[in-house]
Amino acid sequence: MSLQRITTTVNEASVSAEVEPRTLLVHFLREQAGMTGTHVGCDTSQCGACTVRMDGRTVKSCTVLAVHAHAHRITTIEGLSSPDALTPLQQAFSDLHALQCGFCTPGMVFAAQALLDRVPDPTEAQVRDALHGNLCRCTGYQNIVDAVMLAARRIRDEAAPVASTLAGEVQ
C-alpha cells in the first residue's frame, strides 16, 4: 500500500508524516505526533477516549482517517492548556477527583468543554447529555458532572466582575 504524506497542525506545531491511507487519526496522533494523551479505547467510537478537536470541533479520532486531517488544526489534551496552568475545567476535574483512572478524562474534558462553549450555564441534565457517548469504566460519572458544573460556576464568577464593570461604564 502506498504511503501518503500529510501535514497537519497539532497543538500549534506543524507535523508532517507519511501514513497509510487507512491510518486512523488516533494512531497518527499517538505514534507519529507523540500525543499519547489521546487514548484508544474501544476503536468503535463508543467510548470517546480518543476525542480531540479538529478545527475547533470535537471529533472522535478513531473515526477519522489521518489523511483527512491534512491541512487541518488538531488540538489534543496536551494542547488544551498551557504547561503552567490548567483550564478552569481541568482544575475542577482535579479539585473534585473526577479523574478516576484518567483513561477517559481527555474525552470527557473535550465533551464538557464543547458544552461550556455552547452553554455557559448548563443544567445537570445538559451536562449528562453532553457526556453521553463518553464512557467512564470506573463509573465516576457523578464527580465528572460535579466538576463540569463547578467549572461553569467558576467561569461565570470570573466573567461577572468584567460584566458588571462594563455595565457600570455604560451608565
Q: What angle do CA 59, 6, 4 make, to 5 degrees?
A: 115
The contacts of residue 170 (CB under 8 Å, 6+ apart) are none
Taking residue 152's Cβ as centre, other Cβ atoms within 10 Å add up to 23
- Coil, strand, or helix at residue 73? strand
What does the pLDDT read at residue 140?
Answer: 85
Any alpha helices (H) in 63-134, and if so which ranges?
A: 88-95, 105-118, 124-131
Q: Can you give the pLDDT at residue 169?
A: 55
Three-state DSSP at 75 gives strand
DSSP bridge pairs for 54: 57, 74
Tens-place pLDDT, residues 39-50: 999 888 899 999
Residue 102 main-chain phi, psi, to 5 deg? 90, -10
CB 98 within 8 A of CB 55: no
Q: Model pTM?
A: 0.88
The sign of the torsion formed by the CA atoms of 9, 47, 123, 92 equals negative
Question: Residues of the chain whose pLDDT is less than 70?
Answer: 161-171
Distance of alpha carbon 53 from its chain centroid, rounded?
6
Quote the CA–CA distance of 110 and 88 in Å, as a whole number. Answer: 13
Q: What pLDDT was estimated at residue 47?
A: 94
Q: What is the pLDDT of residue 171?
A: 45
Phi-psi region of 108 (alpha: psi -120 to 50; beta: other; left: phi over 0): alpha
Q: Which tens digits make up the pLDDT trace of 118-154? A: 999 999 999 999 999 999 989 889 999 999 999 999 9
- Strand, helix or coil at 8? strand
